[in-house]
Amino acid sequence: MEEILSLARKSAQEAEVFLTSFEETPVVFEANRLKQLQTRQGILVALRIVREGRIGFSTTTSLDDRVSLVDRAIEVSQFGTPARFELPYQLTYPQVEIYDPGVETLSIEQMIDLGESLIAKVRGHTPALLCDARITKGLVSVHILNSRGGEVSYRRSFFGIGLEGNLIQDTDMLFVGDSDSSCHPIGDIDKVASSVINQLELARRQASVSSGRLPVVFTPRGVASAFIAPLALAFNGRVVWQGASPLGDKLGERVFDERLSLWDDATATYRPRSRPCDDEGVPSQSTPLIEHGVVKGFLYDLQTAGLAGVQSTGNGDRVGEGLPTPSISSLIFKAGAVSFEDMVGDLREGLVVEQLMGAGQTNVLGGEFSGNVLLGYKVEKGGIVGRVKDTVVSGNIYQVLNKLVGIGQEAAWVEGAIFTPALCCSNLTIASKG
Amino acid sequence: MYRDQIVEALRGHEADYIEVRLEESEACIIQYRGRELEDLSRSTSLGGNVRVLAKGGWGFVSFNDLRNLGDKVGLAVKQARLVGKDVSRFAPVAQIVDSVEEVVAKDASSLALAEKKSLLDEYNEVIWSVPKIETSIIAYRDKWRRITFANSEGSYIEQKNADLSLRMVAVARDGGDVQQAGLSEGSRGDFTQIEGLHQKVRETAQRAVELLAAPQVKGGEYWVVLDPVLAGVFVHEAFGHLSEADFTYENERLREIMVLGRRFGGEHLNIVDGAAVPDLRGSYKYDDEGVPASKTYLIREGVLVGRLHSRETAAKMGEPTTGNARAVNYRYPPIVRMTNTFIEPQRASFEEMIGGIKEGIYVKNWYGGTTSMEMFTFSAGEAHMIRQGKLAELVRPVVLTGNIFTTLKNIDAIGSDLEMNQGGGCGKGGQYPLPVSNGSPHIRIQHCLVGGK
């Protein structure tokens, strides 16, 4: 890394070398049986330079590829955008707990046992269920070095379990599933198993709904499938800076329900997206986005913060082989006061949405969502009566989250990166074959 | 080039089947957000994987470090043996030794960065020249790769190919109301296919502005007419994924549903997938298991007649191989994927299709699509009402949804104007974006469920 840095410094005023390597071991089950063991090892080296005030950037998969890496970054810098930042140095980093040696010592045999017992437990409830499952462990290390003398490195362990079940009766197909992840090994399969079994129970009967307007309870997984894509864009500092976020000029204004609070936190203990610093070496922090319904802040990397005249929030992530760009780390919603039972119990007629398929494939920039209820239930007189199908739920987050019926008191992690309670929304548009 | 190294690595390892894939690639990314360049980078990558089948179990090892290849084979063999407790079933294919290098009219990967950037600058200026445009997003990527494939059956194949994709989005804004319109194009690395789009770009930007004043459709069931682009996304989501045999081969109940000979649509409906259809983004000579590409009828005259296979799914279902095992890159094992998927043309005219509709929607272009086998969604980038048999006002983009057991039967008209769309990328099992193309003539669907206000 030092050699790349000094080679780059011969032609550029500033330079930064980012090195990440990973090894992950997925244990894959298909159709209820162990199918495949994988070991995936990889490395990425990224060089960012500032030459005559302009950014140059290149990546490779080998530390031996130094000359070509530097040459390509220099070529790119001729056309590069003017740099608006100073590389970070002499910083103190928060202590973020993200490494558990227990992940490395956990054996493949133990992971196989875990997957087998997860499938057995769920099939103990519904023997005809066909399960695909995946138990994954991994280790990531990151090392950043820059020409200002800034240097930081860390390593993170990762463990995840996930199950998807499929039940077909005649021409009716039911898909259920859940997952759990942590930087610790997960020894307990009960959380995922009981969530899937609960879905199977609730979907046992079918129900119908007619087109019109109804209140809808989004479970934590439902929240993630419907609202996160438009929220992540709206709070992205880059989108704000270019004038495309509906929230861009709403800082300090109340836009959402006053019980709603949301923040981004890259320091949450043992979460798979936590770290002491972002991919530019800026210290991690917790950034308030919504406080009691008021827009409090946006997420920035160094370059965007420079353009916007603010400080980076430590959200500069490298996605694939690209330059750092503002990204969410862990999004955390404040839990509310209503139990899930009461939330459903208070509905005369409504829906519970567990997963909205295709919800983000519309004008998410404008806050819209519209998707097919892949897994969801009809509520009548305060009770879940059965599963609904062939039903589309649509809305706009700026209307829907402006006035909520209620916020759940139990929050859960979804997809490893979102911690959210259930949200009950009034008056959503339902289109259904009935 | 790597032949001796691979032969040496395979020596002394025993399994039912072993394959090695090595992949070199170079990519160029140019991205704008507004007038500002958001990303401009050039990346190179070298990596590979080993995949082993033993007694029905699979081992898979991927890496960037090509040294000690024999140890990686050894690890994958050990993994496969730990999993395998049964009998391997793997369709036989002929041993192939071949080298394939494609030549395109204007190879994007060898063009100067200045030339690529200057064309994108022109398009960006076109977007910004449209009044009331708030901002733009442009994402360009070209990539070439050379893949070396070798297996324990003596096949050795080198394939060099390229891929190019371009998406341009215009964003219009009126206070808190933000609307967008997009245009996606792609090719097998041929830059000429993304040149000369200025007029299309202008129309896209104008549409974003017009959408600010457009009303939203009321949700419910409509007769809809799909343009070739959206109908291509529709066929990909509605039937293409369900034809991928890895969903079916170990699922007894799905096998009963997807039995060859079952009727899914009217006699006018023919659906095809094939990498052997030339010069499209999903075209190739050999798939990632070294199986020659083919052209496969999935539906002929409304009846299920075929499906897409890897060597394993073909063997387990007793059907012929089709050459549809693909990996998005060396970090993943190949899985069953689509290539170029389309509805064959018939004779209905556009006027006939809209002529019979009292109140319906003409849906064009795409935002995306997704499926869970039985139910699927596909979303239009552009929509117009059809009233009394005529095209009427522009409305906001809509999400449409269908059910495999009814929607294909509800296609009651298929046009003659087949077009293939090259602008998409397909995702499955974490592998995204895989270059595919899809297409169709205009089609009409009765009683299609549309989300709305």
A169–B251 C-beta distance less than 8 A: no
A358–B40 C-beta distance less than 8 A: no
Chain A: residue whose CA lies nearest to B176? A246
Chain A: residue whose CA lies nearest to B257? A171
Average pLDDT (B178-185) is 96
B453–A394 C-beta distance less than 8 A: yes
Listed in sequence order, the residues at least 6 apart from B121 whose beta carbon sits closer than 8 Å to its beta carbon are none
CA atoms within a 13 Å half-sphere pointing along the CA-CB vector of B173: 20
A406–chain B nearest CA distance, Å: 22
For chain A, the distance separating the N- and C-terminal CA atoms, rounded to the nearest angstrom, is: 62
CA atoms within a 13 Å half-sphere pointing along the CA-CB vector of B370: 20
Mutation for testing the A interface, residue in B41, B79, B137 having most A CBs under 10 Å: B41
Placement of tokens 């522009």 in the chain? B394
A238–B38 C-beta distance less than 8 A: yes
Mark which residues 234-253 of B lie under 8 Å from A by CB: 250-251, 253
Whether A337 contacts chain B with CB within 8 A: no
Mutation for testing the A interface, residue in B19, B36, B110, B371 having most A CBs under 10 Å: B36
Mark which residues 100-129 of A lie under 8 Å from B by CB: 108
Q: Which amino acid is at A341?
A: E
Compute the C-alpha angle A132/A135/A139, nearest 5°. Answer: 145
Report the 10 Å Cβ neighbour count for B3. 12
The closest CB to that of B219, out of A58, A307, A394, belongs to: A394
B370–A361 C-beta distance less than 8 A: yes
The closest CB to that of A361, out of B59, B113, B369, belongs to: B369
Condensed to tens digits (0 to 9), the pLDDT of residues B191-217 reads 999 999 999 999 999 999 999 999 999
B114–chain A nearest CA distance, Å: 8
Whether A130 contacts chain B with CB within 8 A: yes
Whether B388 contacts chain A with CB within 8 A: no
Check residue A434 and give its pLDDT. Answer: 65
Chain B: residue whose CA lies nearest to A324? B39
Q: What CA–CA distance (Å, rounded) separates A430 from B212?
A: 23
This prediction has a pTM of: 0.96
Whether A394 contacts chain B with CB within 8 A: yes
A349–chain B nearest CA distance, Å: 19
Q: Which amino acid is at B125?
A: E
Buried b (16+ CB within 10 A) or exposed e, A351-372: bbbbbbbbbbbbbbbbbbbbbb
Mutation for testing the B interface, residue in A55, A61, A67 having most B CBs under 10 Å: A61
Chain A: residue whose CA lies nearest to B382? A362
Whether A1 contacts chain B with CB within 8 A: no
Q: What mean pLDDT value characterizes chain B?
A: 96
The closest CB to that of A34, out of B83, B220, B450, belongs to: B83
Q: What CA–CA distance (Å, rounded) separates B196 from B180?
A: 22
Chain B: residue whose CA lies nearest to A396? B453
**Which residues of chain B neighbour A246 with C-beta distances below 8 Å?**
176-178
Whether A392 contacts chain B with CB within 8 A: yes
A59–chain B nearest CA distance, Å: 4
Condensed to tens digits (0 to 9), the pLDDT of residues B322-370 reads 999 999 999 999 999 999 999 999 999 999 999 989 999 999 999 899 9
Q: What CA–CA distance (Å, rounded) separates A344 from A238?
A: 38
Whether A246 contacts chain B with CB within 8 A: yes
> What residues form DSSP beta bridges with A42?
A22
Chain A: residue whose CA lies nearest to B248? A31
A313–chain B nearest CA distance, Å: 18
CB A46 within 8 A of CB A64: no
Q: Which amino acid is at B440?
A: S
Condensed to tens digits (0 to 9), the pLDDT of residues B135-169 reads 999 999 999 999 999 999 999 999 999 999 999 99
Check residue A320 and give its pLDDT. Answer: 81
**Which residues of chain B neighbour A59 with C-beta distances below 8 Å?**
41, 43-45
Percentage, residues of chain B above pLDDT 90: 96
Whether B177 contacts chain A with CB within 8 A: yes
Condensed to tens digits (0 to 9), the pLDDT of residues A183-210 reads 999 999 999 999 999 999 999 999 999 9
The closest CB to that of A363, out of B179, B369, B377, belongs to: B179
**Which residues of chain A neighbour B47 with C-beta distances below 8 Å?**
42, 61
**Which residues of chain B neighbour A173 with C-beta distances below 8 Å?**
372-374
A267–chain B nearest CA distance, Å: 26
Q: What CA–CA distance (Å, rounded) separates B201 from B182?
A: 9
CB < 8 Å & 24+ apart, contacts of B109-113 = B109/B26, B109/B28, B109/B142, B109/B143, B109/B144, B109/B162, B109/B189, B111/B191, B113/A75, B113/A76, B113/A78, B113/A79, B113/B28, B113/B40, B113/B42
Q: What CA–CA distance (Å, rounded) separates A305 from A87?
A: 12
The closest CB to that of B449, out of A175, A357, A392, belongs to: A392
Q: What mean pLDDT value characterizes chain A?
A: 96
Q: Among B115, B145, B105, B125, which residue's Cα sits nearest to residue B30?
A: B115
Residue B394 reports pLDDT greater than 80: yes
A40–B449 C-beta distance less than 8 A: no
Confidence bin at B174 (pLDDT 50/70/90): very high
Confidence bin at A171 (pLDDT 50/70/90): confident
**Which residues of chain B neighbour A433 with C-beta distances below 8 Å?**
221, 403, 449
Q: Indicate the Cα dihedral angle A117, A119, A121, A123, nearest 10°.
A: -150
Mutation for testing the A interface, residue in B44, B141, B210 having most A CBs under 10 Å: B44
Check residue A358 and give its pLDDT. Answer: 92
Report the 10 Å Cβ neighbour count for A101. 10
A95–chain B nearest CA distance, Å: 31
Mark which residues 414-453 of B lie under 8 Å from A by CB: 449-453
B451–A370 C-beta distance less than 8 A: yes
Whether A430 contacts chain B with CB within 8 A: yes
Strands B177-187, B156-174: pairing kind: antiparallel
Mark which residues 131-160 of A lie under 8 Å from B by CB: none
User: Where is average pLDDT lowest: A313-322, B20-29, B405-414?
Assistant: A313-322
Give the C-alpha distances (Å, rounded to integers) separating B213 from A165, B208, B396. Answer: 44, 10, 9
ipTM associated with this complex: 0.95
B416–chain A nearest CA distance, Å: 29
Placement of tokens 């959380």 in the chain? A191
Chain B: residue whose CA lies nearest to A304? B38
Check residue B453 and give its pLDDT. Answer: 87
Listed in sequence order, the residues at least 6 apart from A331 whose beta carbon sits closer than 8 Å to its beta carbon are A228, A231, A232, A262, A263, A264, A289, A417, A418, A419, A420
Whether A68 contacts chain B with CB within 8 A: yes
Q: Would you call A102 exposed, middle or buried from its count of C-beta atoms within 10 A (0-12, 13-18, 19+)?
A: middle
Work out how many CB contacts closer than 8 A connect A with B.
245
The closest CB to that of A361, out of B41, B137, B399, belongs to: B399
Check residue B424 and give its pLDDT. Answer: 83
Condensed to tens digits (0 to 9), the pLDDT of residues B22-41 reads 999 999 999 999 998 999 99
